[in-house]
Amino acid sequence: MVKKSKGVIGILTGGGDVPGLNPAIRAVTIRAKREGYDVIGLKRGWAGLIEIDRTKGADNSHCYVHLDDNIVNKIGRTGGTFLHSSRTRASHVPKAVVPIHLQDTYKEEVNDLTAEVLKNLEWLGIDFLIPIGGDDTLSYAVRLYKEGVKVVALPKTMDNDVPGTDYCIGFSTCITRTINMTNLLRTSAGSHERFLVVEVFGRYAGFTAMLPTMAGAANRCVIPEHKFNIEHLTQLLSEDRKRDTSNYSVVLVSEGAMFDGGDMVFADAEMDMFGHKKLGGIGDIVGKGLKELSPKFNNGKRINVINQKLGYLVRSGDPDAVDSIVPMAYGNLALDLIMKGIHGRLVVLKNGRYDNVPIEVVTSTTKKINIDKFYNTERLRPFYKSFEMLPQFIMTSEI
């Protein structure tokens, strides 16, 4: 007797790496194999699907791998993504990045390779696709769903800003590390009686600054949703410093935070395929401004600053408990939907319960901090009001 496969499931990870991706891949693979499906891991996000060469005998080992329990059990407890990742947008591929075997066909400065993606999915025999990513990666998943691909998506991003869900894979580990590392830096800030400026992730949404501040890691935070006045911030931090027995104070700065009348601070002018410039440097600029303005609020004496950009430290290494459990649940929920013949969905956590919503929510709305409800614009810190009946991570409003 020959046991035939129920179908082939493709899984990929796109965008930035976060702890929790490998547990999600493991959960999907183990459950899928147990239920009678084959699983193909697509490498480097959407890049793996545009670089496949369908010519007979071509080596495509850099594009995909067949997964089984032995492979995923070795990586299920580790951070990052063993399938690798990229910021590839298959509908907007620059001419210089078009795979060599397709360069005679796609010659525009920017090319839509969706037709190749669809052919490659068919060539691989993939019946269902599970992309794991943030709003950029999943926005292209929406495109594929509209093209007829059976998609069930999992939300991932440290910023926790994918619409439709209270929780994205990677967020808990990020804020856990932010709290821990900021507390470690306090010893130096206190020893030298300085301002401590910690730059954290958060391009458009300030969840990664707000939650650690609410948990006591910082006195103040500045976030993308509200432009701030540097002199006002200096005054507040100076007052915090005076009240502190060790004579220091702390501010968390989202990488996408903006000064009054200003814009985001970019590391350079180069854009990725999703039109995003690399952010970087706002923490250093804030630190410089605090130092220059500090004499005004410190009897004419300058207050020195410790600047620290946490960067990849909060996204590398092993996942914490939440980012081990939630990806496991998300992966199994995706299989539940596939086995029921349901697709075009995003697996989510809403109000403490696992659920799923239409995948189109990714492109139809945004998820940011509700300023009026959660952020005190005068005090540059979260409101501490009644938390009754709020979700676990409190600030999940979509606007």
Query: Is residue 183 within a helix (H) or strand (E), and if so which, with residue range?
Result: helix 171-192
| 159 tagged catalytic | yes
Q: Between the CA of residue 363 and those of 135, 139, 163, what are the distances in Å?
A: 8, 6, 8
- Range 233-255 average pLDDT: 97
Range of the domain at 24: 8-169+320-364
Task: Assess if residue 3 is contained within a domain.
Answer: no
Structural domains counted in the chain:
2
Q: What angle do CA 90, 92, 95 make, to 5 degrees?
A: 105
Q: Per the residue annotation, which of 38, 159, 161, 166 is the catalytic one?
A: 159
Which residues lie across from 381 on neighbouring strands? 376
Q: Where are the alpha helices (DSSP H) in 267-392?
A: 282-293, 322-339, 361-364, 371-374
Q: What's the average model confidence in pLDDT over 123-150?
A: 96
Question: pLDDT tens digit string along 347-356?
Answer: 999 988 999 9
> Does 233 lie in the same domain as 164?
no
The upper half-sphere exposure of residue 133, i.e. CA atoms within 13 Å in the direction of its Cβ, equals 30
Q: What's the pLDDT score for residue 2?
A: 41
Q: Tell me the average pLDDT of the chain.
A: 93
Residue 67 lies in a domain: yes
Distance of alpha carbon 357 from its chain centroid, rounded? 19
Tally of CB atoms within 10 A around 13: 31
Element (H, E) at 30: helix 21-35
Distance from C-alpha of 62 to C-alpha of 57, rounded to nearest angstrom: 14
- 12 and 159 in a single domain? The answer is yes
- Asked if the structure places residue 1 within a domain, the reply is no
Grade residue 1 by pLDDT with cuts at 50, 70 and 90: very low
Q: What is the CATH number of the domain that holds 225?
A: 3.40.50.460
The C-alpha angle with vertex 267 and arms to 132 and 229, in degrees rounded to 5, equals 100
Residue-wise pLDDT for 208-242, tens only, equals 999 999 999 999 999 999 999 999 999 999 999 99
Report residue 259 as tokens: 């000064």
